[in-house]
């Protein structure tokens, strides 16, 4: 029997030993889905704290409740480790490590390079290796494949390699791993078939494409689409401000058109793990091919400028009250990058706070999901939310519209509110409200 058929049979019978490398917001949900389908999962992360918590059955990811993780750990379906040597006997490896940008906006591939180097040392015939980390088109073929082939493996014959982009939306209660279609591109057709067989065990729909590079491009198109359209609507907000009209009224009227229009909404800037970062992978790759990704660069320019625009609006609002920014007490409500999550990666709130502090403002924040944030050498802690917090502020800035907030209460206790999310406009109160 061929190695491919043996692996397919082991996947179908749930005898295949699976593994996930990188136990963040992508890797841990994936490990749980595999374990829930009957596979044994070796979950690897270099952070010993994460490993210890998982082995206690304790989740640190909001989308993975502890009461779902713990029974799987107790049943022996999930075992966490920091040692790549523990992957020597596994049949499948899904790589879910971070892929950040450097300050120069070029890809930092160190996590992928380090992980595949360690995996190559424990790889064996009959193994499936899938990269899920978002990256530039060509990564699987240029970085993953050569390191595995250096051991004499042959792709599609004795080892199987594919790319399947993560499609995790933290905090999304409707779409999670099991009901979000999974795109898969194998190095060969057999590689794609084996990868699809694994994911079909816990995902409702698998979409196969012709190559890993195509699958990598699919992911970047998805997030570039959002980044560019958010950049467009943010620029429309700037235009409407100059024209003296309400951008939200414009959008709400435009979205009544039943065809040819999809509403996007302005905000204080982009945040999170994907949209502010992923398009730059594509832009960087195209620069190596002497092509300038103009839409991406322009959208980035507009989106990264939104925190400064928000600060300017705050300054104007304070000025109307005969107050300077310097010395004013400003309360920021919400520092997570989106509603009802605890993730502050790339959050525009951090830039807004930094810009206000540079101008001499006394800035504090409250966020029910984020107990503290790090700004340079300083650590800020979430203030207690009460009447005094709001009443003592010269300006309250709504950066993240968490559903925990009572907007009527905010408007009734505050003097001036800068609402970057259009969260308060359906509510009444005594505060003067300004928006984008």
Q: How confident is the model at residue 105 (pLDDT cuts 50, 70, 90)?
A: confident
Residue with tokens 């793990």: 273
CB 426 within 8 A of CB 411: no
pLDDT at 56: 97
CB 164 within 8 A of CB 215: yes
CB 350 within 8 A of CB 271: no
Q: How long is the chain?
A: 436
Q: How confident is the model at residue 151 (pLDDT cuts 50, 70, 90)?
A: confident
Q: How confident is the model at residue 102 (pLDDT cuts 50, 70, 90)?
A: confident
Sheet hosting strand 78-81, strand order edge to edge: 78-81, 40-44, 17-21, 92-95, 127-131, 159-163, 182-186, 206-209
Joined together, the tokens standing for residue 298 give 């322009």
- Please give the average per-residue pLDDT across 402-420, as a whole number: 97
Fold entry, domain 278-435: Rossmann fold (3.40.50)
As annotated, the residues of the chain forming the CATH 3.40.50.720 domain(s) are 3-210, 278-435
Q: How confident is the model at residue 312 (pLDDT cuts 50, 70, 90)?
A: very high
pLDDT at 173: 84
DSSP-assigned letter for residue 142: I
Work out whether the CA dihedral 188, 189, 192, 193 comes out positive or negative.
negative
Which of left, alpha, beta for 53 (phi over 0: left; psi -120 to 50: alpha)? Answer: alpha
pLDDT in tens, 238-280: 999 999 999 999 999 999 999 999 999 999 998 877 778 888 8
Using DSSP, state whether 184 is helix, strand or coil.
Answer: strand
Joined together, the tokens standing for residue 78 give 């999930």
What is the distance between the alpha carbons of residues 168 and 345, in angstroms, rounded to a whole number?
A: 15
Active site residues: 274
Counting residues of the chain whose pLDDT is more than 90, the rounded percentage is 88
Return the CATH architecture of domain 3-210: 3-Layer(aba) Sandwich (3.40)
pLDDT above 80 (res 289): yes
CB 44 within 8 A of CB 24: no
């Amino acid at each position: 029997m061929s190695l491919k058929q043996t692996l397919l049979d082991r996947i179908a019978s749930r005898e295949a030993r699976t593994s996930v490398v990188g136990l963040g917001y992508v890797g841990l949900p994936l490990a749980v889905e595999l374990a829930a389908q009957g596979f044994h999962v070796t979950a690897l992360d270099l952070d010993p704290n994460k490993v210890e918590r998982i082995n206690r059955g304790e989740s640190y990811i909001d989308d993975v409740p502890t009461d779902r993780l713990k029974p799987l750990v107790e049943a022996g379906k999930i075992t966490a480790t920091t040692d790549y040597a523990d992957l020597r006997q596994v049949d499948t490896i899904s790589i879910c490590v971070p892929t950040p940008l450097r300050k120069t906006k070029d890809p930092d591939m160190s996590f992928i390079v380090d992980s595949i180097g360690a995996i190559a040392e424990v790889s064996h015939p009959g193994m499936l290796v899938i990269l899920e980390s978002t990256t530039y088109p060509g990564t699987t073929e240029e970085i993953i494949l050569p390191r595995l082939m250096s051991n004499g493996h042959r792709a599609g014959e004795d080892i199987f390699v594919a790319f399947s982009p993560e499609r995790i939306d933290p905090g999304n209660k409707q779409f999670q791993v099991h009901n979000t279609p999974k795109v898969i591109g194998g190095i060969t057709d057999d590689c794609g078939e084996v990868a699809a067989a694994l994911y079909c065990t816990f995902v409702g729909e698998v979409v196969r494409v012709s190559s890993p590079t195509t699958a990598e491009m699919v992911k970047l198109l998805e997030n570039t689409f959002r980044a560019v359209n958010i950049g467009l609507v943010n620029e429309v907000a700037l235009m409407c401000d100059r024209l003296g009209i309400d951008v939200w009224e414009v959008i709400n009227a435009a979205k009544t058109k039943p065809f040819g229009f999809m509403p996007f909404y302005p905000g204080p800037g982009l945040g999170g793990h994907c949209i502010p970062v992923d398009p730059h992978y594509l832009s960087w790759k195209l620069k190596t091919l002497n092509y300038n990704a103009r839409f991406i660069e322009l959208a980035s320019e507009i989106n990264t400028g939104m925190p400064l625009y928000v600060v300017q609006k705050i300054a104007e609002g304070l000025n109307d009250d005969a107050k300077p920014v310097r010395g004013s007490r400003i309360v920021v409500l919400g520092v997570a990058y989106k509603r009802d999550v605890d993730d502050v990666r790339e959050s525009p709130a951090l830039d807004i706070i930094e810009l206000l502090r540079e101008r001499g403002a006394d800035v504090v924040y409250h966020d029910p999901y984020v107990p503290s944030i790090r700004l340079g050498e300083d650590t800020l802690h979430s203030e207690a939310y009460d009447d005094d917090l709001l009443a003592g502020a010269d300006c309250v800035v709504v950066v993240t519209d968490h559903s925990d907030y009572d907007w009527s209460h905010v408007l009734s206790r505050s003097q001036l509110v800068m609402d970057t999310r259009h969260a308060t406009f359906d509510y009444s109160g005594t505060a003067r409200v300004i928006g984008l």
